C-alpha cells in the first residue's frame, strides 16, 4: 500500500507511542484515512511480532462494512487475515465461528463487547484498536469499565492475570476527542495509557484540573476547568496523542460552505411553543403533552420546531402535526439544487414520514440494501437519515455534495461525523451544508452550543497537531 506522507508520520508516531506509553491516540480529521493507517500499523507490528493478534472494536456499520472492505481492498499490500464477529443477539453463531477462526485480526462491534467479555475468559489478543474512541468517553458506561479491566492486563505478567495474556497496546481512533469538553478526555486517555497522564481515577482528574460549576448541595452537574487546565492537560497527553487536520494534510479539498436558512415559526405554532415553554404542559387535539424535567422540555421544544409534537407516553393519540414551515424551506433548497442529490438529516420519525409523503419515491433511507451503490449511480434524489444511523462508515462523497439539516442535533460529534459523509477525501465539489433554523427557539440555542463545542474541540485538535 502507498501511504500519504502524513499517514506514514502517523504510523511512526503510533509505533513509538506503543513502545514508550503502551498506547496511542490518533485524532485524525474525517477523511484522512484512519482505517488504512491502522492497517499499516498492524501489518508492521505483525511483521515484527508474528505471534501478535489484534482486536478491532468499532461501531457496527464500520465493523461490518468499512473494516472488511478496506482490508480486502488493500489485501495485496498486507499480510493480515481477519474475521468479523458481529452476529446478532438471537444468533451468536457467527460471532463464535469468527472467534474460533483464530484470525490475526478479529473485528467486533461495540455492542457485542459485553458478550465477548463473558464468552472469552482468556483474551488471545495482544493489541486492541478502538475505532471511534470517543464512544468510551463516559467512565460509567459498561463498555468503558469492561475495557478498563481488560486494559489492566497491560501491567500484568503473562499467564498470571485472570484474563490471560497482557495487552501489548491500545490504539484509539477518533476525529472528535473532546466534543463536549475536557471532561471527555479522561476515560479515553485512560484506555490508552492506563491513567498515567491524567490520573488513575476520574475523581483525581477532577480535583486536579476542575472546580464545581452548577451544583445542588453535594451534587455537581457541571465541572469547570481551572484557568491552567487546558494547557496542562494538553501537555500531559501530547506525547502519545497526535492530531492531524484535513485542511493541513489535504489542501486540495473543496471548500465547505455553511448556509443557515432562517424560517419564521408560524404564528399558531409560536403561540403553542411559548405557552408550553412557560407552562410545561398543554392539551393538543385532546392529548396531553408535558415536560417533567429540562431534558424532556428541550426535546418537546425541538419537536415544535420540527412542526410536530408527540403525545405523552401511554396516550392513545397520534403525532400532532403543527406546520410544514421547514419542509417548505427544504422544498426551495431542493428546487435550487437543480437535480443534485441531497443528503438530509432529521431528528423525528414524523419528519421522515412527511418527507416521504411529500416527495413519494424520491426519498430513500440508509437502511435500504445497496443504497451507497444506488447513490453513486445517481438514482437517489433524496437520502434521508438520522445522524445516529449514519455518522460512521457511510461514504457518499463521490456523488453528492449537498447536506440539509431539517433539525439540528445538540452533539458536535454527531454533527461533524454526519457532515463528513460527503465532506471528506474524494470529494471534488464544494460542499454545501444547509441548516434550517427557526429564530428565537431552541434551534438558536443549538447553534450556540455547537459553535462553543466546536471552538474547544478545534483548540484541542490544534494543540496536539504536529506539522
Domains and CATH numbers, the chain: 5-249 (3.40.50.10810), 252-265+323-436 (3.40.50.300), 267-322 (no CATH)
pLDDT > 70 fraction of the chain, expressed in percent and rounded:
94
Selected residue with higher pLDDT from 351 and 178: 351
Report pLDDT for 455: 77
Q: How far apart are CA 241 and CA 229, in angstroms?
A: 17
Report pLDDT for 157: 36
Torsion of CA 370, 374, 377, 383, to 10 degrees: -140
The string of pLDDT tens digits covering residues 191-250 is: 999 999 999 999 999 999 999 888 787 788 788 899 999 999 999 999 999 998 877 777
Report pLDDT for 457: 74
Give which of 116, 377, 416 is closest to 258, Cα–Cα: 416
3 state SS of 9? helix
Report pLDDT for 91: 60
pLDDT over threshold 90, residue 13: yes
Selected residue with higher pLDDT from 153 and 244: 244
Greatest extent of the chain over all pairs of C-alpha atoms, in Å: 70
What is the pLDDT of the chain when averaged over all its residues? 88
How big is the chain, counted in residues? Answer: 467
Q: Which residue has the cell 387535539?
A: 285
3 state SS of 66? helix
Q: How far apart are CA 353 and CA 15, in angstroms?
A: 49
Long-range CB contacts (< 8 A, 24+ apart) of 310-316? Answer: 310/348, 310/350, 311/284, 311/287, 312/287, 312/288, 315/287, 315/288
Specify whether the CB–CB gap between 372 and 422 falls below 8 A. no
pLDDT over threshold 50, residue 372: yes
The string of pLDDT tens digits covering residues 68-100 is: 989 998 999 999 999 999 866 546 678 899 999
The string of pLDDT tens digits covering residues 130-152 is: 998 988 999 999 999 999 998 87
Q: Produce one character per residue of 379-406: b if its CB has 16 or more CB atoms within 10 Å, e if not.
A: ebbbbbbbbeebbbbbbbbebbbbbbbb
Specify whether the CB–CB gap between 366 and 406 falls below 8 A. no
Banded pLDDT at 156 (limits 50, 70, 90): very low
Query: Number of C-alpha atoms within 13 angstroms, CB side, residue 230?
Result: 13
Query: Number of C-alpha atoms within 13 angstroms, CB side, residue 399?
Result: 18
Q: How would you class 360 by CB atoms within 10 Å of its CB: exposed for 0-12, middle for 13-18, buried for 19 or more?
A: exposed
DSSP codes of every residue in 206-221:
HHHHEEE-SEETTEES
Q: Which residue has the cell 439539516?
A: 405
pLDDT over threshold 90, residue 425: no
pTM over 0.75: no
The string of pLDDT tens digits covering residues 344-368 is: 999 999 999 999 999 999 999 988 8
Q: Which residue has the cell 398543554?
A: 282
The string of pLDDT tens digits covering residues 290-345 is: 998 888 999 999 999 999 999 888 777 889 999 999 999 999 899 888 889 999 99
Element containing residue 282 per DSSP (H, E): strand 281-284
Q: How far apart are CA 307 and CA 405, in angstroms?
A: 14
Selected residue with higher pLDDT from 167 and 267: 267
- The partner residues of 24 in beta bridges, in order of sequence, read 171
3 state SS of 73? helix
Report pLDDT for 88: 60
The string of pLDDT tens digits covering residues 107-132 is: 999 999 999 999 898 899 989 999 98
User: How many CB atoms neighbour CB 465 within 10 A?
Assistant: 15
Specify whether the CB–CB gap between 355 and 327 falls below 8 A. yes
Report pLDDT for 385: 94
Highest mean pLDDT among 22-36, 37-51, 392-406: 37-51
Q: How far apart are CA 354 and CA 303, in angstroms?
A: 14
Specify whether the CB–CB gap between 342 and 333 falls below 8 A. yes
3 state SS of 434? strand
Specify whether the CB–CB gap between 435 and 393 falls below 8 A. no
| Angle at CA of residue 366, ends 361 and 372, nearest 5° | 95
pLDDT over threshold 60, residue 164: no
Amino acid at each position: 500500500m502507498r501511504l500519504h506522507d502524513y499517514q506514514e508520520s502517523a504510523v511512526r508516531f503510533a509505533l513509538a507511542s506503543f513502545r514508550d506509553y503502551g498506547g496511542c491516540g490518533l485524532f485524525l480529521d474525517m477523511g484522512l484515512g484512519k482505517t488504512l493507517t491502522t492497517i499499516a500499523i498492524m501489518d508492521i507490528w505483525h511483521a515484527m511480532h508474528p505471534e501478535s493478534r489484534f482486536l478491532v472494536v468499532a461501531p457496527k456499520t464500520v465493523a461490518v462494512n468499512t473494516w472488511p472492505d478496506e482490508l480486502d481492498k488493500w489485501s495485496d499490500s498486507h499480510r493480515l487475515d481477519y474475521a468479523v464477529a458481529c452476529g446478532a443477539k438471537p444468533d451468536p453463531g457467527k460471532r463464535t465461528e469468527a472467534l474460533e477462526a483464530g484470525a490475526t485480526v478479529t473485528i467486533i462491534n461495540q455492542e457485542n463487547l459485553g458478550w465477548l467479555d463473558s464468552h472469552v475468559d482468556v483474551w488471545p489478543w495482544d493489541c486492541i484498536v478502538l475505532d471511534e474512541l470517543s464512544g468510551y468517553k463516559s467512565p460509567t458506561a459498561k463498555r468503558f469499565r469492561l475495557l478498563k479491566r481488560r486494559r489492566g492486563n497491560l501491567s500484568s505478567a503473562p499467564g498470571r492475570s485472570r484474563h490471560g495474556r497482557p495487552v501489548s497496546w491500545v490504539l484509539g481512533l477518533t476525529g472528535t476527542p473532546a466534543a463536549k469538553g475536557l471532561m471527555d478526555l479522561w476515560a479515553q486517555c485512560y484506555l490508552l495509557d492506563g491513567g498515567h497522564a491524567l490520573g488513575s481515577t476520574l475523581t483525581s482528574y477532577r480535583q486536579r484540573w476542575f472546580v464545581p460549576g452548577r451544583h445542588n448541595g453535594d451534587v455537581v452537574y457541571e465541572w469547570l476547568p481551572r484557568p491552567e487546565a487546558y494547557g496542562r492537560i494538553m501537555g500531559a497527553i501530547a506525547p502519545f496523542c497526535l492530531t492531524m487536520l484535513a485542511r493541513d494534510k489535504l489542501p486540495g479539498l473543496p471548500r465547505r460552505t455553511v448556509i443557515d436558512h432562517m424560517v419564521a415559526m408560524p404564528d399558531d405554532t409560536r403561540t403553542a411553543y411559548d405557552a408550553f415553554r412557560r407552562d410545561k404542559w398543554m392539551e393538543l387535539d385532546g392529548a396531553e403533552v408535558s415536560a417533567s424535567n429540562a431534558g424532556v422540555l428541550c426535546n418537546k421544544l425541538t419537536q415544535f420546531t420540527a412542526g410536530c409534537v408527540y403525545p405523552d407516553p401511554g396516550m392513545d393519540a397520534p403525532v400532532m402535526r403543527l406546520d410544514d414551515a421547514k419542509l417548505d424551506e427544504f422544498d426551495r433548497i431542493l428546487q435550487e439544487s437543480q437535480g443534485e442529490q441531497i443528503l438530509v438529516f432529521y431528528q423525528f420519525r414524523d419528519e421522515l414520514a412527511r418527507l416521504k409523503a411529500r416527495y413519494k419515491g424520491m426519498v430513500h433511507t440508509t437502511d435500504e440494501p445497496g443504497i451507497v451503490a444506488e447513490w453513486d449511480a445517481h438514482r437517489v434524489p433524496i437520502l434521508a437519515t438520522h445522524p445516529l444511523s449514519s455518522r460512521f462508515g457511510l461514504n457518499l462523497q463521490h456523488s453528492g455534495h449537498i447536506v440539509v439539516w431539517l433539525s439540528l442535533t445538540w452533539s458536535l460529534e454527531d454533527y461533524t461525523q454526519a457532515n463528513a459523509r460527503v465532506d471528506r477525501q474524494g470529494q471534488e465539489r464544494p460542499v454545501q451544508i444547509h441548516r434550517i433554523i427557526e429564530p428565537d427557539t431552541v434551534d438558536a440555542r443549538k447553534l450556540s452550543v455547537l459553535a462553543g463545542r466546536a471552538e474547544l474541540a478545534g483548540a484541542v485538535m490544534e494543540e496536539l497537531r504536529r506539522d
